[in-house]
């Protein structure tokens, strides 16, 4: 008698960096998986890794079954089929969907896209595939270790599909201690975390999860750039070594700047190249690359009309870094300021000022990201829960930080909070440090070190706290050259005025009557 294999719980397509680790995470949590990749070596690798790790396997049944085609994958799954994709954003997602349609996927089957897809593509795909299957999206953050031992997951789409996916997502997601907001970390195969709060929650209708992940990545860009600017100031103006800077960052990582990105920066700065026995970071070419999610966030902030200058500046910083040859040429032509050396006391003071500058800039970057999500949600009619979004970023993802506990508390105090800068806790944090923030930027600027993200944040802070801005003159300029009209502070709200600039008398005329709404 031939024994038939039991059908698998989940199908998985795309066994790259994220895919193979998500498969093993699912397997540790008790799910059986039918896995497929265009490259059969990757299929065999994940099957082999599963048999290595599945040491308590009493029945000697592999948790991961390797498939050689889309058709075989479908035939190996329990119905209705649940299939997870981890392929590059863009056309690959549609190619896989088309292959699954050709292989006979059915209308009550679910496909979950876990890649970094553009949120608008996700909205379009849900509609496009409605008659073929349920297209669900769940952005993932955490890199390969997160995928393996607990990522942060941002699901969105059909509520019915979510009901089916939820227990799986709660099982594989990162977990935090609810009261402290600290991650519960276990990084041994087979050691699943069942306690704590899972870093996943339903975000909203199709596209909203990918929008939230896009903003996560925009904040990630800002966080990384802020750390890089502090490194640059310490290295170039105090001539500190990578090990000195690692020690400073390590101390800061015990305070409000604590984050995964600080933690890994310490490790990177301490890492010696094995061939030269010098810090590897100093051998790495200073040209930053990017895949696009930070750019999408900056573009969306412009479209929505929600300033995110720290995030945009972080994207620009990557772009300008890529002009290596041009910068090399300009470095021989353009003058630098005279360098001054600081006394030991002033050096110590600068280190403290830089700490405060980083913390304030970080608060601004998160304030921008959260306000952007709020305004986008209003446009798209998504009911986003910002306390919950901050909570699911406390562990598993790249921007994970204890700081996110304070953000979730701010939104729990006031779920209608317009911007983190006007929250009591954060305004006090900024007020206590703004002088130091300015001093650090003055020092960097006088020494010719570019600190675009720290400075863009300060300009944002100063603009946000200014009751009056020079937009009065700007409105007058617009009216002068284009008759674009302006409102007056001494007249009724909504009334639009125009000056007949070309006439000799330059009379001011009322153009319309109406009510102003801010
Ligand atoms: N790496 C990270 O830290 C993170 C990545 N992501 C996102 O997750 C997704 C996967 O990323 P990652 O694992 O790093 O990428 P990889 O490039 O490592 O893996 C992608 C996989 O998709 C397969 N693939 C590529 N094109 C197609 C196609 N047209 N049809 C079918 N399969 C295809 C590749 O197959 P082949 O074997 O032929 O190469 C490969 O196995 C991406 O969308 C990425 O943006 C999200 C969060 C973090
Ligand atoms: O999504 C991620 C983490 O959350 C990826 O690591 C991110 O795509 C990296 O982006 P880039 O290559 O643009 O730096």
| Numbered ranges of CATH 3.40.50.720 in the chain | 10-206
Cα(36) to centroid of ligand 2, in Å? 24
Among 197, 220, 229, 429, the active-site one is 220
> Domain 471-512 classified CATH 3.40.50.1820?
no
Q: Please classify residue 131 by burial: count the beta carbons closer than 10 Å to its beta carbon, then call 0-12 exposed, 13-18 middle and 19+ buried.
A: exposed
| Numbered ranges of CATH 1.20.5.320 in the chain | 471-512
| Numbered ranges of CATH 1.10.1040.10 in the chain | 210-464
53 Cβ contact partners less than 8 Å away, ≥ 6 residues apart? 24, 27, 28, 189, 190
pLDDT at site 518: 47
Full-model pTM: 0.95
Instruction: For residue 324, count other CB atoms closer than 10 A to its CB.
Output: 12
ipTM of the complex: 0.97
Sign of CA dihedral 461, 462, 468, 469: negative
* pLDDT above 90 (res 4): no
| 516 touches ligand 2 (CB under 6 Å) | no
C-alpha atoms less than 13 angstroms from C-alpha of 483 in its C-beta half-sphere: 9
For residue 512, list its beta bridge partners.
Answer: 496
Per-residue pLDDT tens for 310-369? Answer: 999 999 999 999 999 999 999 999 999 999 999 999 999 999 999 999 999 999 999 999
Per-residue pLDDT tens for 90-125? Answer: 999 999 999 999 999 999 999 999 999 999 999 999
Distance CA 47, CA 52 (A): 9
Which residue ranges have their beta carbon within 6 Å of ligand 1? 14-19, 37-39, 42, 86-89, 92, 95-96, 115-116, 140-141, 143
The answer to whether the CB of 99 falls within 8 A of the CB of 85 is no
Q: Which fold has domain 10-206?
A: Rossmann fold (3.40.50)
Query: What integer best gives the mean pLDDT of the chain?
Result: 96
Q: Which fold has domain 210-464?
A: 1.10.1040
Ligand 1 pocket, mutate which of 83, 87, 151, 213 (most atoms under 8 A from CB): 87
Cα(128) to centroid of ligand 1, in Å? 22
| 116 touches ligand 2 (CB under 6 Å) | yes
pLDDT classification of 383: cutoffs 50, 70, 90: very high
Cα(141) to centroid of ligand 2, in Å? 8
Question: DSSP code of 38?
Answer: S
* pLDDT above 80 (res 303): yes
Cα(497) to centroid of ligand 2, in Å? 48
Task: Tell me, yes or no, if 324 is annotated catalytic.
Answer: no
Task: Tell me, yes or no, if 263 is annotated catalytic.
Answer: no
Instruction: For residue 127, count other CB atoms closer than 10 A to its CB.
Output: 10
Nearest ligand, measured from the Cα of 294:
2
């Amino acid at each position: 008698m031939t024994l038939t294999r039991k059908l698998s719980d989940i199908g998985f397509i795309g066994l790259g960096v994220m895919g193979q680790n998500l498969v093993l995470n699912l397997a540790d949590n008790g799910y059986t998986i039918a896995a497929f990749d265009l490259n059969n070596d990757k299929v065999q690798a994940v099957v082999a890794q599963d048999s290595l790790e599945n040491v308590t396997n009493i029945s000697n049944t592999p948790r991961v079954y390797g498939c050689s085609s889309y058709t075989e994958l479908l035939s190996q799954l329990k119905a209705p089929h649940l299939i997870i994709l981890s392929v590059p954003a863009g056309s690959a997602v549609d190619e896989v969907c088309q292959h699954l349609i050709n292989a006979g996927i059915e209308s009550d089957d679910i496909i979950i896209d876990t890649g970094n897809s553009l949120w608008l593509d996700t909205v379009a795909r849900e509609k496009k595939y409605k008659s073929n299957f349920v297209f669900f999206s769940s952005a993932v953050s955490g890199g390969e270790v997160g995928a393996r031992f607990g990522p942060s997951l941002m699901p969105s789409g059909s509520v019915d599909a979510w009901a089916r996916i939820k227990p799986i997502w709660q099982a594989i997601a990162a977990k935090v201690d609810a009261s402290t907001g600290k991650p519960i970390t276990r990084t041994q195969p087979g050691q699943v975390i069942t306690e704590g709060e899972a870093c996943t929650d339903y975000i909203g209708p199709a596209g909203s999860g990918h929008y939230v992940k896009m903003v996560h990545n925009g904040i990630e860009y800002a966080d990384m750039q802020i750390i890089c600017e502090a490194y640059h100031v310490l290295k170039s103006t105090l001539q500190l070594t990578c090990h000195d800077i690692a020690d400073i960052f390590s101390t800061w990582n015990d305070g409000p700047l604590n984050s995964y990105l600080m933690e890994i920066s310490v490790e990177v700065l301490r890492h010696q190249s094995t061939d030269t026995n010098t810090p590897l970071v100093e051998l790495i070419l200073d040209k930053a690359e990017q895949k696009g999610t930070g750019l999408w966030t900056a573009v969306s902030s412009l479209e929505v009309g929600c300033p995110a200058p720290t995030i945009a500046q972080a994207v620009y910083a990557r772009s300008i870094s890529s002009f290596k040859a041009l910068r090399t040429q300009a470095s021989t032509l353009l003058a630098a300021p005279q360098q001054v050396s600081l006394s030991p006391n002033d050096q110590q003071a600068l280190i403290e000022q830089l700490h405060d500058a980083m913390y304030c800039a970080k608060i601004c970057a998160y304030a921008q990201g959260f306000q952007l999500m709020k305004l986008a949600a209003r446009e798209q009619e998504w009911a986003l829960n910002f306390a919950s979004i901050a909570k699911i970023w406390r562990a598993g993802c790249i921007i994970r930080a204890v700081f996110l506990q304070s953000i979730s508390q701010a939104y729990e105090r006031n779920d209608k909070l317009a911007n983190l800068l006007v929250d009591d806790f954060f305004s006090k944090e900024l007020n206590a440090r703004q002088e130091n923030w300015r001093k650090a930027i003055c020092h960097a600027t006088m020494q010719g070190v570019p600190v675009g993200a720290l400075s863009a944040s300060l300009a944002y802070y100063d603009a946000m706290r200014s009751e009056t801005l020079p937009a009065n003159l700007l409105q007058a300029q617009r009216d002068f050259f284009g008759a674009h009209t302006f409102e007056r502070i001494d007249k009724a709200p909504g009334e639009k005025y125009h000056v007949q600039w070309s006439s000799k008398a330059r009379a001011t005329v009322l153009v319309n009557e109406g009510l102003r709404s801010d």
